[in-house]
Amino acid sequence: MIGKKKKTVMYILIIAITLIVVFPFIWMLILSFRSSADIMTNPLALPESLNLENYINATKTLDFIRLYGNTIFVCVVSLIIELVITFFSSFVLSRMVFKNKKIRSMLYGFLIIGLSISPFILLFPVYQINVRLHLREQFALIMPYVATSISFNTLLLTNYMKSLPVEIDEAAIIDGCSLWDLMFRVILPMSKPVIATIVTFNVLYIWNEYPFASVMLRDVSDYTLSMGASFFKGNYTVDYGGIIASSVMIIIPELIFYGIFQKHIVEGMTAGAVKG
């Protein structure tokens, strides 16, 4: 049993950590109601009034409908390709029988080795690959996003599938299930918690990703939300109020999305912790 003093200390630590994490967003929200001049002269002061000029300027400067549409399109297509590839590869690695176990280990190691390499140091090689394959517009982002996410997705999904009892497969086969029925009618429904976790992490990654978007996208009409803030930076001036206001409008949908799916994230991260 945890004593009262330890509980009090834990609660204090939790509150302190929460305030540290939430403070930057609250500060950004406060700054969004102040002018760029006020932000530069006294960034810690509270706004004198509820000034929506930055938000009005942001909606006039940015075509949010197009930015949201481009980002959602990239998210959906990337996730579909990622999940198809990851589900098939994870099923093979976790449920299929290999005559040589070293081949399984080599395949698994090859798929997750990407976790040890930062994708951003590969910007130039990826750009050259896109040029040679004639990948343009949003597809110049989709394929790199798919490639950089497979390692993390494989790690989660493979470990989860390994935790499912082998008896499930045996019972399904005895009942007459084919390999495809086993995959899509048995294993896939049982993998929903970890798939929800994968979807959430990948959506948040794509929503915020900037380096690849800044290099691969050349046409303004193809820009995603992460590129929106760059519209407020000129050669000699920076509209800090516009940057902050647009950032708030970009972050709020993320917070809503995360709040809806946070329960699934916890379930997916802990689902494979205890086997069978």
For every residue of the chain, DSSP letters joined together read ---HHHHHHHHHHHHHHHHHHHHHHHHHHHHTTS-HHHHHH-TTSPPSS---HHHHHHHHHS-HHHHHHHHHHHHHHHHHHHHHHHHHHHHHHHHSPPSSHHHHHHHHHHHHGGGGS-GGGGHHHHHHHHHHHT--TTHHHHHHHHHHHHHHHHHHHHHHHHHS-HHHHHHHHHTT--HHHIIIIIIHHHTHHHHHHHHHHHHHHHHH--HHHHHH--SGGG--GGGGGGGGB-SS-B-HHHHHHHHHHHHHHHHHHHHHHHHHHHHHHHTTSS--
In whole angstroms, what is the distance from residue 29 CA to residue 19 CA? 15
pLDDT band at 275 (very low <50, low <70, confident <90, very high): very low
- Least confident range from 77-81, 134-138, 160-164, 261-265: namely 261-265
User: Across-strand partners of 233?
Assistant: 238
pLDDT band at 81 (very low <50, low <70, confident <90, very high): very high
The stretch 30-58 carries a mean pLDDT of 81
| Unique residue bearing structure tokens 């070293």 | 102
In whole angstroms, what is the distance from residue 71 CA to residue 206 CA? 8
Domains and CATH numbers, the chain: 53-270 (1.10.3720.10)
Kindly state the tokens that stand for 222.
């193809």
Q: What is the pLDDT of residue 78?
A: 93
Q: Indicate if the pLDDT at residue 51 is higher than 60.
A: yes
Q: What percent of the chain has pLDDT over 90?
A: 11
Q: What is the pLDDT of residue 73?
A: 93
pLDDT band at 235 (very low <50, low <70, confident <90, very high): low
Length of the chain: 276
The stretch 248-257 carries a mean pLDDT of 86
Q: What is the pLDDT of residue 274?
A: 45
First to last CA, the chain: 28
Q: What is the pLDDT of residue 269?
A: 59
Q: What is the pLDDT of residue 76?
A: 93
The stretch 212-224 carries a mean pLDDT of 86
In whole angstroms, what is the distance from residue 222 CA to residue 70 CA? 6
Report the 10 Å Cβ neighbour count for 117: 11
Q: Which residues touch 261 (CB under 8 Å, ≥6 apart)?
A: 196, 199, 200
Q: Indicate if the pLDDT at residue 231 is higher than 80.
A: no
